[in-house]
Amino acid sequence: MGTAALRALPWALLLLGPLLPGQGLQANPMLASEPPQGQPAQLPGAEIGGFTPAPPASAQEIQPLNKQPANGSGEGHAKPRKAFPVLGIDYKHVRVPFEISLWILLACLMKLGFHVIPSVSNIVPESCLLIVVGLLVGGLIKGVGEKPPILNSDVFFLFLLPPIILDAGYFLPLRQFTENLGTILIFAVVGTLWNAFFLGGLMYAVCQVGGPGLNHIGLLANLLFGSIISAVDPVAVLAVFEEIHINELLHILVFGESLLNDAVTVVLYHLFEEFATFEQVTIIDIILGFLSFFVVSLGGVFVGVIYGLIAAFTSRFTSHIRVIEPLFVFLYSYMAYLSAELFHLSGIMALIASGVVMRPYVEANISHKSHTTIKYFLKMWSSVSETLIFIFLGVSTVAGHHYWNWTFVISTLLFCLIARVLGVLVLTWFINKFRIVKLTPKDQFIIAYGGLRGAIAFSLCYLLDYRHFGMRDMFLTAIITVIFFTVFVQGMTIRPLVDLLAVKKKQETKRSINEEIHTQFLDHLLTGIEDICGHYGHHHWKDKLNRFNKKYVKKCLIAGERSKEPQLIAFYHKMEMKQAIELVESGGIGKIPSAVSTVSIQNINPKTLPVERILPALSKDKEEEIRKILRNNLQKTRQRLRSYNRHTLVADPYEEAWNQMLLRRQKARQLEQKMNNYLTVPAHKLDSPTMSRARIGSDPLAYEPKADSENLPIITIDPASPQSPESVDLMNEEPKGCGGLPPSPEEDEEGLVMRVKEPSSPGTDDVFTPGTGDSPSNQRMLRCLSDPGPRPEPEEGEPFIPKGQ
Amino acid sequence: MGSAHSVPAEMRELADRTGFTSEQIEHLHRRFKQLSRDQLTIRKENFDSIPDLEFNPIRGKIVHAFFDKRNLRQESDGLADEINFEDFLTIMSYFRPIEMNMDEEQLDRFRKEKLKFLFHMYDSDHDGKITLQEYRNVTYGPSCPVTTEFPAPALTRCLGPDQVYEGITFDDFLKMWQGIDIETKMHVRFLNMETIAHCY
């Protein structure tokens, strides 16, 4: 038998397991609890490309070989003359990681499958499809005769939930969140309390009249049930809302509510769980319960803040070991979560708090690459987690013990919906008295309709002790029904409803530097007016906090020079970088529709602005074509995001554009040749992007360098070295341009700082140098982003148009 | 208004003109008296007595805006030396929050007024146009290093391809702010004014 067969052996065994019944081989136990990966035909809609079963023909060959090593390794030295086990099977050894990996792989392949078949996923939200897949997988496992795994609550709370929450917390749009904090808190706290008690009370009433099966369920049990099921689930909300692209206000309201109600849920859950063991509930207990709410929520936040600060402080010193920077972020956040859970505080709030607190400081300290890494890892983990959660929900449904009681389940469903609607209506009426931007009935409808329940409710119920809660199975059944209903019915219909009601969608506006400046200006203005009025309002305290932050906190937590960098400048740098990337990937040939306008002030001569055409005139239609290409590419990516879209990190302005540009490289290449000629204009002359924009024509302005540019540092995106004008050639840049002008080591620390242009000096590179900024280091900026390392690695330098290929 | 304030007819007239309720006018009047130390008018120096204002990077501009005759709806131009309560109220009225019962036209007017106020803040030389220099002065304030090159924001995006850039006129300014809901953002809550500082 050839080596090929040998190599195929484990796979074949794996996949053909079900076909080799009763072999008595060691192989069998391995397949007992393994999800039937090897039956691709039976999993509809999925393309499990990686698991093509080995041709059955080889099974015959394999069996004899199989017997030998199995017997050989099993019996060891008992046999006098055993053959040396060329190949052994020891499944137990790797079983757990193996199965985990298989599950995760299944989840990923599912995701892949859904996107390859777009038609289905347009109608049905992904969460529904995943649950269906879970149901099928569970059914299959059951069909094989094995016991399908149930979503273990520990696994859920400790491993599956934190990535999602951290992702949400780290990228929380803070401005909207704090602006609407009052509303969110009211919905989260009062709304959840109302839901819990209303539902619990009503269910108790139902139980009393519901017949013999239900009479024994006490008030406490019902209240506990109510509190479990009343909480809006962040995972489900995220999964559904991010597909419908609703406007930011509604998104943050529902999502914020789902996050913050965790504190209430935790308190109520533990409260009622404890009370169920008591003989009698006294007033003291109730008061203690009330107090514990504050302890749980504020304690959770406190823990999160502490860890966030520590993380920020740590990141200050990581300039020499950039590689592990992301790990610090993840670990500290996870520790915050675990520490909070340790004390029965709200882990979710701790996680959110730590993410929010650490983010501004960490972002200022870490390198660009670490930032990208953090972003990608968070998105990746949360994406996988979410998929796994839904699949497991499906599997657990099949696997769990159910007890179906029509009255209970139907009334639960009904009252859930009623409670939600009533709660939202009443609370909105109350809240609108204090809001400037009132919530319209349409908004209210979406908020009510978006109250999805999810896996948290399921897991919490699963944790219930059978001894105290004999009716746990019935609860489980009811909860699963509600979850299915909300996810399927509400999840599927919310998108057409949003369209029908013409709810305002997320604006695809570009968050330009313009807006940022204006927002800041307005903040200062309003703070000033408030001070003049003597009114200590919203802006006043925000301003005080900012000042405190700037004066003390930033100094501690941000390394080096960057603590002094005004926020606006930092923002500007970010924008500039994005712009540079966009420009570079287009080969420097295009007019970039001025989403982020980088007209340099110095270059706008207030009086006259000659439009110079230095470029050899391109034919009109070629120009048009380029412009169209760029517009198409870039428009897609310029989004005022801030939704947690996991499919396509759309916040990144250049991801999609990059990919698309790869495809369009040929078209652009010819142009690029011509461009190369003029891009050899020495860097001090002007920002080449702006020049090029002027050239292509219908740019509002062309820019002319001012003579006195010594004092004004220029951010030039021109990657060509100032001394040796060369064509744009980023991929092979490394030996010449990039290697040419990195700033000296201490500049590394400064990060994004504007400096007067200084003569370049050759120096060593560091792959993780965060340096960006003025002209000597703009190549590094580009290099950082393209990450060529000491040598240009082709796959990463790919997007840049190679020279003369 | 002076010490014999709250003549009802005057109040009502003020209320009509500026849109504040009489309660709010009372509060603001109290504040005015504090600032002016019981005088009839306020001068620029009176604003120095507000401690929190010290930290504000655009303090000068804000104070200046109070004395800007264009904001005071007077026909003339230039700066007033002192303003009375009526003028104070007029300036404050720019920061009223929108009300539910406003119709489209009113909202539009409201918005324009607020933006005009902002425009006047930028346009320090009163020539009806904002040049880049003025823009830069306002947005950076004294805290940013002068030598930074900063992008002139998408002002220029409003201009057509052949337009020569001489300065931003009010119409351009309007266009710039189109995407931003100024009417919901630019307001101060005059509802609860009980938290008036008494520390002078």
Q: Are residues B66 and B108 in the same domain?
A: no
Q: What is the pLDDT of residues A521-532, one digit of tens each?
A: 777 788 787 777
Range in A108-122, A669-683, A757-771, B5-19 the model is least confident about: A757-771
Contact A646, A382 (CB under 8 A): yes
Res A763 pLDDT > 60: no
Are B41 and B123 within one domain? Answer: no
**Residues with Cβ < 8 Å from A12, sequence gap 6 or more?**
A53, A54, A58, A59, A62
Residue B7's pLDDT is what?
56
Give the closest of B136, B153, B188 to A535, CB-based: B188
Q: Are residues B55 and B116 in the same domain?
A: no
* Interface with A, mutate which of B20, B143, B188 (most A CBs under 10 A): B188
Nearest CA in chain B to A440: B100
Residues in chain A within 8 Å Cβ distance of B131: 606
Question: How high is the pLDDT of residue B33?
Answer: 81
Residue of B nearest to A514 (CA): B153
Residue B184 has pLDDT above 90, yes or no: no
Check B53 against A532: CB less than 8 A apart.
yes
A633 token code pair: 């590419």
Q: Quick check: A604 and B152 CB within 8 A?
A: yes
The C-alpha angle with vertex A8 and arms to A7 and A13, in degrees rounded to 5, equals 125
Provide the shortest C-alpha distance from residue A609 to chain B (in Å). Answer: 6
Q: B181 lies in a domain?
A: no
Query: Are residue B63 and residue B48 in the same domain, yes or no?
Result: yes
* Chain B CB contacts of A609 below 8 Å: 164-165
Beta bridge partners of A286: none
Q: Do the Cβ atoms of B154 and A526 come within 8 Å?
A: no
**Residue with more model confidence, A335 or A47:** A335
Q: Angle at CA A770, nearest 5°, toward A766 and A771?
A: 90
Quick count: other Cβ atoms within 10 Å of Cβ A666?
7
Q: For residue B161, what pLDDT band results from cuts at 50, 70 and 90?
A: very low
- Report the C-alpha gap between B45 and B68 in whole angstroms: 15
Residue among B53, B55, B157 whose CB faces A594 most closely: B157
Query: B190 and B168: one domain?
Result: no
Write down the pTM of the prediction: 0.65
Do B16 and B84 lie in one domain? The reply is yes
- For A424-463, how does the pLDDT look when each residue is reduced to its tens digit (9 = 90+)? 999 999 988 888 778 888 888 888 888 889 888 888 888 8
Distance CA A131, CA A153 (A): 17
Q: Angle, to 10 degrees, between the axis of helix B8-18 and the axis of helix B85-93?
A: 30
Report which of A266, A254, A220 is spatially closest to residue A444, judged by C-alpha positions. Answer: A254
B170 has pLDDT over 50: yes
In a domain, B143, yes or no: yes
CB-CB neighbors (< 8 A) of B195 in chain A: 534-537
Mean pLDDT across the stretch B21-37?
79
- Report chain A's mean pLDDT, rounded to a whole number: 69
3-state SS, residue B78: coil
| Residue of higher predicted confidence among A10 and B9 | B9
Confidence of residue B139 (pLDDT cuts 50, 70, 90): low
Do the Cβ atoms of B189 and A569 come within 8 Å? no
The single-letter code of the amino acid at A96 is: V
Contact A594/B136, CB-based, under 8 Å?
no
Residues of A within 8 A of B187 (CB-CB) are: 436, 526
Testing the interface with B: which of A176, A433, A512, A525 to mutate, by most B Cβ within 10 A?
Answer: A525
- Please check the confidence at residue B19 and state whether its pLDDT lies above 80: no
Q: Identify whether residues B81 and B113 lie together within a single domain.
A: no
User: B75 and B156 in one domain?
Assistant: no
Please tell me the distance in Å from A566's CA to the nearest CA on chain B.
7
Select the residue from A439, A524, A573 to test the B interface by mutation, using most B Cβ atoms within 10 A.
A524
Average pLDDT of the segment spanning A4-20: 41
DSSP-assigned letters across all residues of A608-637: -------SPPPPHHHHHHHHHHHHHHHHHH
What whole-number percentage of chain B has pLDDT above 70?
65
* Residue among A740, A731, A727 nearest A787 (CA): A731
Tell me what the mean pLDDT of segment A383-395 comes to: 88
Select the more confidently predicted residue: A274 or A601. Answer: A274
Are B126 and B147 members of one domain?
yes
**DSSP secondary structure string for all residues of A501-545:** TTPPBPP-----HHHHHHHHHHHHHHHHHHHHHTB--HHHHHHHH
pLDDT band at A306; cut points 50, 70, 90: very high
pLDDT of residue B123: 75
The pLDDT value recorded for residue A680 is 54
CATH number for position B157: 1.10.238
Out of B35, B152, B187, the one facing A599 most closely (by C-beta) is B152
Range of the domain at B78: 7-99+186-199
Tokens 């060329």 belong to A86
Task: Kindly report the nearest CA distance between residue A50 and chain B, in angstroms.
Answer: 49
pLDDT for residue A459: 87
**If pLDDT is split at 50, 70 and 90, which confidence band does A573 have?**
low
Distance to chain A for B21, nearest Cα, Å: 16
pLDDT average, residue stretch B160-181: 66
The band of A336, judged by pLDDT with boundaries at 50, 70 and 90, is very high
pLDDT at position A754: 42
The Cα–Cα gap between A735 and A768 comes to 17
Residues 6 or more apart whose CB falls under 8 angstroms from that of A133 comprise A43, A45, A46, A110, A391, A394
Relative to beta strand B82-84, strand B41-43 is antiparallel
* Contact between B47 and A598 using a beta-carbon 8 Å cutoff: no
> Which whole number is the average pLDDT over A782-794?
43
Average pLDDT, integer, range A64-91: 61
Q: Is residue B52 part of a domain?
A: yes
**pLDDT at A307 exceeding the cut of 90:** yes
Separation CA A31–CA A122 (nearest Å)? 36
Name the token pair of A300. Answer: 């959770």
Per the domain annotation, does B1 fall within a domain?
Answer: no
Instruction: Please indicate, yes or no, whether residues B79 and B116 belong to a single structural domain of this protein.
Output: no
Chain A: residue whose CA lies nearest to B27: A533
Contact check, Cβ <8 Å, A534/B31: yes
Percentage of residues in chain A having pLDDT higher than 70: 58
B114 & B95 share domain: no
Question: Are B56 and A524 inside 8 Å of each other by CB?
Answer: yes
For the ranges A24-33, A268-277, A555-564, the maximum mean pLDDT occurs at A268-277
Residue A358: is its pLDDT beyond 50?
A: yes
Amino acid at B193: M
Does residue A34 contact residue A99 with C-beta atoms inside 8 Å? yes
ipTM, two decimals, is 0.83
Measured CA to CA in angstroms, residue A439 lies from A258, A425, B54 at distances of 18, 10, 37
Chain A positions in Cβ-Cβ contact with residue B184 (cut-off 8 Å): 436-437
Residue A293: pLDDT band with limits 50, 70, 90:
confident
- Between A766 and B164, residue with greater pLDDT: B164
Statement: residue A221 has pLDDT above 90: no
pLDDT (0 to 100) of residue A659: 56
Mean pLDDT over each residue of chain B, to the nearest integer? 69
Closest CA to A459 of A218, A262, A289: A262
The closest CB to that of B165, out of A437, A522, A606, belongs to A606
Provide, as residue numbers in chain A, all residues whose Cβ is less than 8 Å from the Cβ of B179. 507, 509, 515
Note whether B179 contacts A509, CB cutoff 8 Å: yes
Q: What is the pLDDT of residues B62-114, one digit of tens each?
A: 777 777 777 777 666 777 777 777 777 788 887 777 776 677 787 788 788 88
Is B168 inside any structural domain?
Answer: yes
Two structure tokens written together for A65: 């070989």
Residue B21's Cα: distance from chain center in Å? 19
What confidence score (pLDDT) does residue A550 get?
Answer: 79
Listed range (A288-302, A357-371, A677-691, B65-79) with the worst mean pLDDT: A677-691
Residue B130 lies in a domain: yes
Verify whether the Cβ–Cβ distance A513 to B151 is below 8 Å.
yes
Residues contacting A366, CB < 8 A, separation 6+ = A315, A318, A322, A325, A326, A374, A770
Distances (CA, A) of A621 to A171, A625, A626, A628, A696: 42, 6, 9, 10, 12
pLDDT at residue A566, rounded to an integer: 59
pLDDT of residue A753: 40
Share of chain A above pLDDT 90, in %: 9
Interface contact flag, B164 A756, Cβ < 8 Å = no
Indicate the DSSP class of residue A398.
H
What is the structure's pLDDT at A303? 94
Q: Is the pLDDT of residue B8 over 90?
A: no
Most confident of A151-160, A206-215, A578-587, A603-612: A151-160
Q: How confident is the model at residue A339 (pLDDT cuts 50, 70, 90)?
A: very high
Per-residue pLDDT tens over the stretch A251-273: 889 989 998 888 888 888 888 88
Task: Compute the average pLDDT of residues B15-37.
Answer: 78
Is residue B159 in some structural domain?
yes
Whether A419 contacts A190, CB under 8 Å: no
B50 shares a domain with B26: yes
Mutation target to probe the B interface, by most B beta carbons within 10 A, among A439, A522, A533, A690 is: A533
**CA nearest A416: which of A443, A451, A442, A390?**
A451
Taken as a whole, chain B contains a residue count of 200
Comparing CB atoms, the residue among B62, B177, B195 nearest residue A536 is B195
Contact between A605 and A704 (Cβ < 8 Å): yes
CATH of the domain at B26: 1.10.238.10
Asked if B132's CB is within 8 angstroms of A606's CB, the reply is yes
- Looking at the domain assignment, is residue B33 inside a domain? yes
Answer yes or no: do B53 and A515 touch at CB < 8 A: no
List CB contacts (< 8 A) between A523 and chain B. Answer: none
Total number of domains constituting chain B: 2
Q: What is the mean pLDDT of residues A142-156?
A: 81
The tens digit of pLDDT for each residue in A656-713 reads 565 566 667 766 666 666 666 655 544 444 444 444 444 444 434 434 444 444 444 4
**B50/A533 CB distance under 8 A:** no
- Sort out which chain B residues have CB atoms less than 8 A from A543's CB and list them: 52, 55-56
For residues A127 and A311, is the Cβ–Cβ distance under 8 A?
no
- Of the two residues B138 and A526, the one the predictor is more confident about is A526
- Res. A302: pLDDT tops 90: yes
Q: How far is A700 from chain B (nearest CA, A)?
A: 4
